[in-house]
Each structure stands twice: as structure tokens, then as C-alpha cells.
Amino acid sequence: MRRVFIPALLLLLSSPVFAQPAAHLRVLLDTDIASDIDDAWALGLLVASPNVELVGVTITDGNTAARARVACKLLHVVGRDDVPVAVGRQTSPPKDFDYQFSWAEDFTAKQPVSTAAADFIVDTLRKHPGEITLIAVGPLQNVADALRKEPRLGQLAKRIVLMSGSIGANSWSPAAIPEWNVVRSTADAQLVYGAGLNLTTVPLDSTSYVKLKTEERARLEAAGTPLTRSLEALYRLWVKDETSRMTLHDQMAVAEALRPGEFFNRCEVMPIRVDEQGFTRVDRDRGKSTTVCLEPKRDAFVGFYLDGLLAMR
């Protein structure tokens, strides 16, 4: 009996159920949640990931107070009132991007912290040097303000991952227009890209290929968890018509932070510079070394992402 039991036990322990868990990761997310829909859905993956310690969420761009209410409500609904939300400086509001604000317009159960977003980023990284991955998936006002306050920001962060830029790495050239997170606050983007930080960016060159299919959205909707119900509610406020499909821009940056290099065929170091018009250029003379993630493994990433959201019950 022992001869049968021991091999069986060893086989069981080697199965995926008992596989070595992913390494613990401390994350700070900077987001312009409630413009495009992908920000909320990116935050969803972070709160659903058991190996992630989400140390805070900072809010950037436009009506930051209204955005913060959306983040606070999403965290509250899924039982994560422990995650602090810090509000960044308000800027001129973008047009036609405020429909998701109505989801949380009367919400008061969870409030942002009193510390401004840039101060929160600096304070948090100083308290935990080399331990925290900063993921920025919106315009870079908060990251730039934090860098102005603390020039050693890149040394204090374990890693800085952006959803940002469009470098024209593909034949259809998404670089024909500047990417939103860069051009929305060009001077701030120039500062961040030009500071010589240990940057990794997931650009439009990759994310534009990855859209959520109808059957994938239906799978999440059928789960009926507090998280998936909230994400579906925000999706319905965002969607314009039955042909609209979410592009998983910010989710890919989060996945890159969680599983470096796993969902791309190429991650190359390139000299990147932001020009005065907000374009991200490969510039061998003036560009700063930036790791650029290209050629997404669409199905592997989406499977990881959907399974991650569904893991939170």
C-alpha cells in the first residue's frame, strides 16, 4: 500500500494544483480610470490576483475627484477598502469620456486619502525601496510630479511599467497618430521618458491587436461575481453600440508587470524619445533606453486575464 501511495502522492504534489505559486508582487497603480473602459478592467485583475499586494491606486488626468470615486466604489464592492486611493492634480477634462462617472456619482462609502497622488507615490516608494512595481496606465502627470519631487524615483521603484506610446513597429503604423497617454500631457511624458528610468512600455503597437470577443465578455458576465458585475456595469456605460469592443490596452501592461515577458514574442530595449507633438520616436542619438513589449501572444494573455478575473469569488 505504501509503495502505491507514495508515488501517487508525489504525482499529486507535482500537479498544477500544487505547483509553486507565483512570486508575491507589491504594486502601485496609476490610472485615469473611467475614460476608456480598460482601466477599470485592469484594476480588476490586480484586486483578483492572490499574489498581488495592491499598495495603492493613484488617479490622474481631468476630473480626478470623479475618477477617484469610481476607483473607490470598485474597490469597495469587491471588499478591498484596505487599498488607499490618492487623487492627482485636476487638469482640463477630455471630451466625451465621462459616462462611467455616473456609476459612482453618489458613492461615499469609501473616500480617497488626503495625500496628493504624487506625494503618495513618493512616500510609498521611499518607505519600501526596491520593493514596489509602479504601473502607470494613464497620462503621466502623477509620475512626472513624483519625479520632480524625488529625482531618485527610478532607483526607489522595483520596476516601472507603462501602457504608453506608439513607435510604428508594425506595417500598419499606429504611430500615424500620437498615443493618448503621451499626447494628453506631452511635457510630463517627455520628463518621464527622458529621465533614464528603468522603463518598460506596452505600446499601441501591441495592444491594438487584442480586443475582447463577445463570447469572452459573456463568460465573465455569466460568472455573476461582485467584480464581474461591476466591470459589466461600467462596460455598458462605456459601450457606444453593439459593434463596440474593448481593446485590452491597460490589462496588457498589468499582465506584463505580473508575468514579465510571458505574453510577448519580443521585448526589446530601444532608445525612445517623446517629441514636441507627443509622438514616441526611436531616436538613437537622444532617446533613452526603454524596454518595449511587442508581438503579443493574444490567446495566452487573454486566457490568463479571464482566469484571473474569475478567480475572485
Helix (H, G, I), strand (E, B) or coil at 192: helix
pLDDT by residue (tens digit) across 108-158? 999 999 999 999 999 999 999 999 999 999 999 999 999 999 999 999 999
DSSP 211: B
Please identify every stretch of the chain with a pLDDT value under 70, giving residue numbers as ranges: 1-23, 96-97, 169-176
Helix (H, G, I), strand (E, B) or coil at 241: coil
State the pLDDT at residue 74. Answer: 98
Helix (H, G, I), strand (E, B) or coil at 68: helix
Residue ranges of domains in the chain: 24-310
Read off the pTM.
0.91
State the pLDDT at residue 62. Answer: 95
State the pLDDT at residue 5. Answer: 43
Q: How many Cβ atoms are within 10 Å of 125's Cβ, its own excluded?
A: 24
State the pLDDT at residue 244. Answer: 87
Helix pair angle (214-223, 298-310), 10° resolution:
10
- What fold, for 24-310? Inosine-uridine Nucleoside N-ribohydrolase; Chain A (3.90.245)
State the pLDDT at residue 175. Answer: 53
State the pLDDT at residue 22. Answer: 56
Tell me the three cell numbers of residue 140: 503621466
State the pLDDT at residue 160. Answer: 98
State the pLDDT at residue 14. Answer: 44
State the pLDDT at residue 169. Answer: 56
Q: How far apart are CA 159 and CA 147, in angstroms?
A: 14
Q: How far apart are CA 271 and CA 282, in angstroms?
A: 5
Tell me the three cell numbers of residue 205: 503597437
